[in-house]
Chains A and B, each alone.
Chain A
Amino acid sequence: MKIQVIYTGRGYQLAELLPDELELDDAAGVGDALRLLAKRLPADVRLPDTCLISVSGQHLGTLAQHNSVRLRDGDELTLIAPVAGG
């Protein structure tokens, strides 16, 4: 299956290092997708633990602490690094 990937929020330039689309096994879950994304990053770059994770608009928690769900073809995995400026 294929899913879309969106990285946004603080440090949105990181999106340039990540694919817009991921190809995964049909039985893959959100954890599999996140592990694959982490591997695509340079060794000295990692996604922030406080990143909000959602799949097709449904909030799952943060990168450090999230529910695990099975993915479906066409899902949109969104990672939003917290933004605090005022």
Chain B
Amino acid sequence: MPDLTPDELERYSRQIGPGVLSLDGQQRLRCSTALVTRAGGMGGPAALMLAMAGVGRLIVAHGGHLISPDLNRQVLGSEQGLGKPRAAEFAAYLRGMNRFVQVEPLDYEPDDDQALELAARCDVILSCPPTFEERLRLNRAAVITGTPLIDAAQWGMTGTLIVVRPGETACLECVYPAPPPFEELFPVVGAISSATGSLAALEAIKILSQTGRPLWGRMFTYDGYHGRATAVQLQRRPQCPRCGAAARGA
């Protein structure tokens, strides 16, 4: 691994040391690539925290143009960006926050083949889309390529994280044998988006830098409405069509 430059060491000096990242861990983070799709309410803060922490390359996928209702939670957007393509706006903001990070914007949500191609060239996937269809697509790509997946989701004042280590822990299809109903205009408060996205980034930083204990195979839920956190150890489903015995040809 290439050494961190003096400027990089200065930038990350508050997060290198006991109880945080080791120097090797920071270097591992710098040599890593993370995919964030999408980069809205949760993916935006997740991408921002990864950029500020010093991930080497950040691929940010988000189609469409920035609209006013986005701005109650999409921290990478701004009043000046309204009407402009989200991906380019978000990438410019991220580059402005850390010159040591390479940011690759994609102005679309990946289809099956694109998700597979992206998963194969990244070290972790942060899945933050609004639909289960997209989540299951990213889960499929993660399982096929063996790429760790952090699934972040939100509704109202609640956020959930599921951290998947393909082949070892439950995948999303183990947890949801049938896709839950889709709700296009779900309620959401920006504070929970930001909190959930930041926790997703923390899991990614731990995985990439090999620090601490990631939430492998667990679902973490923070119910902000009731002020309650729960964690569930998820079980793999042997009959899971994605990662079960039949899918593995066993």
Chain A residues within 8 Å of B, Cβ to Cβ? 6, 8-13, 15, 48-50, 52, 54, 57-62, 64-65, 78, 80-86
Contact = CB atoms under 8 A, between A and B. Distances in A.
Which of A49, A57, A83, A86 gathers most chain B CB within 10 Å? A86
Contact of A6 (B130, B131, B230): B230
A64 B178 CA distance: 10
Given A61-B177, A62-B176, 7 more contacts: A9-B223, A48-B180, A50-B178, A62-B177, A83-B221, A84-B180, A86-B129
Contact of B153 (A48, A62, A65, A84): A84
A54 B42 contact: no
B230 A84 contact: no
Contacts of A86: 38, 40-43, 128-131, 134, 152-154
Interface in B101-146: 128-132, 134-135
Interface string B150-187: 00111111111000000000100001111111110010
Contacts of B72: none
Contact of A8 (B41, B128, B221, B235): B221
Which of B43, B158, B179, B228 gathers most chain A CB within 10 Å? B158
A12 B156 contact: yes
Contacts of A11: 155
A76 to B, nearest CB: 8
B230 A80 contact: yes
Given A9-B158, A83-B158, A54 B232 contact: yes
Contacts of A58: 232-233, 235
A83 B159 CA distance: 8
Nearest to B37: A86
25 contacts: A6-B228, A8-B223, A8-B228, A8-B230, A9-B155, A9-B158, A10-B180, A11-B155, A12-B223, A50-B180, A54-B233, A57-B233, A60-B235, A61-B237, A62-B178, A64-B177, A65-B177, A84-B130, A84-B135, A84-B153, A85-B41, A85-B130, A85-B188, A86-B152, A86-B153
A1 to B, nearest CB: 21
A81 B223 CA distance: 12
B176 A50 contact: yes
Which of A49, A64, A82 gathers most chain B CB within 10 Å? A82
A70 B57 CA distance: 49
Contacts of A84: 130-132, 135, 153, 155, 180, 182-183, 186
A78 B158 contact: no
Interface string B205-246: 000000000000001010101101011111101000000000
Please give me the 9 A-B residue pairs with the lowest Cβ-Cβ distance, nearest first.
Answer: A82-B180, A86-B130, A50-B180, A8-B223, A83-B155, A85-B186, A83-B153, A54-B232, A86-B129
Nearest to B39: A86
Contacts of A61: 177, 235, 237
